[in-house]
Amino acid sequence: MKNTALTQTHEALGAKMVPFAGYNMPVSYEGINVEHETVRKAVGVFDVSHMGEFLIEGPKALDLIQKVSSNDASKLTLGKAQYSCLPNETGGIVDDLIVYRIKEETYLLVVNASNIDKDWAHISKYNEEIGATMRNISDEFSLLAIQGPKAVEAMQSLTSVDLASIKFYNFVVGDFAGIDNVIISATGYTGSGGFEIYCKNSEVQQVWDKVFEAGAAYDIKPIGLAARDTLRLEMGYCLYGNDIDDSTSPFEAGLGWITKFTKDFVNSEALAKIKAHAPERKLIGFELDERGIPRQGYDIVDGQGKTIGVVTSGTMSPSLGKGIGLGYVPSVFAEAGSKIHIQIRKNAVPATIVKPPFYKG
């Protein structure tokens, strides 16, 4: 199992560590609810250095990215990032990712830790004909997510970059916490604003320490993966492996907005046909009408108790104090406001389909 450059720091803070995607990761420090609320109301820091990073470089870089990703990377100007996915050849999704245009002919792809090897092999296969320069820098780079409504104010003293001026899904390469050439990206997986900071492993301890010094006056706290999951689920963000995978199409998953037929890409002809017909099933959000907590794998049932779908992510929402989840149901059931039931052990608990985000700030 791999460690991040900050594993000892997490252990010294008393974090509960768990194996996740082959990495020894902090799942919680003080408690999920406190950590969740910290990000919603103040500012918290996640070590998400397990995420994978690929550099795609050279005159063929854009051609390769356009071939393997569903969104239109030709729209990216310097300093902009884009959410995208890697379609597979059979209608499903290899991974979801963020594409950054770092230099004219240099792009950074940030992928899920659990998919690093699969993604690398998939992209490499298409690169045989295209011939871009690819580097897997996952083991050399660290990633801190500094998230929450106080993030800008709390971190401004660490950089000469005007943090408030970085728009959502834009980034600046600049100085941060005494380190040069850090990527300061206005992205995140929480819905509460803030930044993601990419730096070298050898630099991340200094960045972490300075972030906590600067954030002390704002009650900054370290946040584990458990709260990362409840935060993303309250926003209805998909998690690869739960809500999307090799068998789910981008259209079923509500990712049509990152699937652009302005170019050819892997399986684009078949996906265009899928788009032309409404998908048979859809990923929906739901809130329980009564007490209970939906979990991944629970059946979604109709009023007669017949199974119509499955929960792909579920939790007790710390912000709303009720059970929320995502799951696939036939499109005829997928209308917002429709009533479904979640089979929780012996009980079919009534639930209402809602359009995420569940948490509306």
**Taking the complex as a whole, how short is the minimal distance between the CB of residue 200 and other proteins, in angstroms?**
32
**Taking the complex as a whole, how short is the minimal distance between the CB of residue 26 and other proteins, in angstroms?**
13
C-alpha to C-alpha distance for 229 and 236, rounded to whole angstroms:
10
**Taking the complex as a whole, how short is the minimal distance between the CB of residue 239 and other proteins, in angstroms?**
13
**Taking the complex as a whole, how short is the minimal distance between the CB of residue 142 and other proteins, in angstroms?**
25
* Residue (of 328, 326, 295, 325) closest to 309 by Cα position: 328
Is the four-CA dihedral 307, 309, 314, 319 of positive or negative sign? negative
* Residue (of 43, 85, 84, 39) closest to 229 by Cα position: 39
Residue 146: φ, ψ to 5°:
-110, 105
Nearer to other proteins, 32 or 85 (CB): 32
* Residue (of 52, 201, 69, 68) closest to 114 by Cα position: 52
**Taking the complex as a whole, how short is the minimal distance between the CB of residue 316 and other proteins, in angstroms?**
4
Residue 12: φ, ψ to 5°:
-65, -30
**Taking the complex as a whole, how short is the minimal distance between the CB of residue 349 and other proteins, in angstroms?**
11
Nearer to other proteins, 230 or 248 (CB): 230
Nearer to other proteins, 17 or 258 (CB): 17
**Taking the complex as a whole, how short is the minimal distance between the CB of residue 182 and other proteins, in angstroms?**
32
Helix axes 32-41, 225-235, angle to 10 degrees: 50
**Taking the complex as a whole, how short is the minimal distance between the CB of residue 346 and other proteins, in angstroms?**
7
Report the relative pairing of strands 44-47 and 221-222 from DSSP bridges. parallel
Say how many residues make up the chain.
361
Chain residues in the site for other proteins (CB under 8 A): 16, 27-28, 31-33, 226, 229-230, 291-293, 295, 315-316, 318, 345-346
Q: Is 180 helix (H, G, I), strand (E, B) or coil?
A: strand
Q: Is the peptide bond between 357 and the residue preceding it cis, with omega within 30 degrees of 0?
A: yes
From residue 322, give the alpha-carbon distance in Å to each of 69, 124, 229, 259, 287.
Answer: 36, 44, 15, 33, 7
